[in-house]
């Protein structure tokens, strides 16, 4: 098995951090790059200026705050990584990003939302497992 790019989606949950930590050994073994992906909430299309830009700025600040611990983790480990931000829905976007970026694997946490939310709206991990065309490794 040859790995050049591993996509690691993150949402700020402990499961996502576990997946990021797990990816370090794998990335070092194969000397590959990490695509660190975060899907934020969609921007509301009904807002006019200047409110739309305020929402965009706030969303980007929150995304950067959420991504900071992952950046620190990969930088401290000397891992090559690229940060990518996209709008939701994460379950559909993650497999699409993996295809477009030619990722060799998706390494994802087992759960980001609470159990109840996962039952009601379906988990992102479950969607990724069914839509991805590359191997998916689920980490607890």
Give the Cα separation of 104 and 16 in Å (integer).
Answer: 19
Cα–Cα–Cα angle for 39, 3, 10, rounded to 5 degrees: 20
| Secondary structure tally for the chain: helices H, strands E | 5, 5
In the chain, the number of structural domains is: 1
pLDDT at 51: 86
What integer pLDDT is reported at residue 27 of this predicted model? 95
Q: Tell me how far apart the alpha carbons of residues 28 and 50 are, in angstroms, rounded to a whole number.
A: 45
pTM given for the model: 0.90
> Is the predicted pLDDT of residue 121 greater than 50, yes or no?
no
With the C-alpha atoms ordered 47, 121, 105, 138, is the resulting torsion angle positive or negative? positive
Using only C-alpha atoms, the chain has a radius of gyration, in whole angstroms, of 15
Q: What is the domain extent for residue 118? A: 5-139
pLDDT digits (tens, 9 = 90+) for 63-105: 999 999 999 999 999 999 999 999 989 999 999 999 999 999 9
Helices 124-131 + 90-100 axis angle, to 10 = 40
Q: What is the pLDDT of residues 8-60, one digit of tens each?
A: 999 999 999 999 999 999 999 999 999 999 999 888 878 788 888 999 899 99
Output the domain CATH number for residue 126.
3.40.50.620
């Amino acid at each position: 098995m040859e790995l050049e790019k591993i996509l690691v989606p993150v949402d700020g949950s402990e499961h996502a951090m576990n997946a990021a930590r797990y990816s370090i050994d794998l990335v070092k073994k194969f000397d590959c790059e990490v695509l660190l992906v975060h899907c934020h909430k969609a921007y509301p299309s009904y807002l006019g200026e200047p409110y739309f830009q305020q929402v965009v700025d706030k969303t980007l600040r929150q995304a950067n705050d959420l991504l900071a611990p992952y950046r620190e983790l990969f930088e401290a480990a000397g891992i090559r990584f690229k940060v990518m931000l996209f709008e939701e829905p994460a379950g559909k976007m993650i497999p699409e990003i993996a295809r477009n970026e030619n990722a060799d694997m998706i390494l994802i946490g087992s759960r980001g939302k609470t159990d109840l939310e996962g039952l009601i709206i379906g988990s992102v991990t479950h969607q990724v497992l069914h839509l991805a065309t590359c191997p998916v490794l689920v980490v607890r």
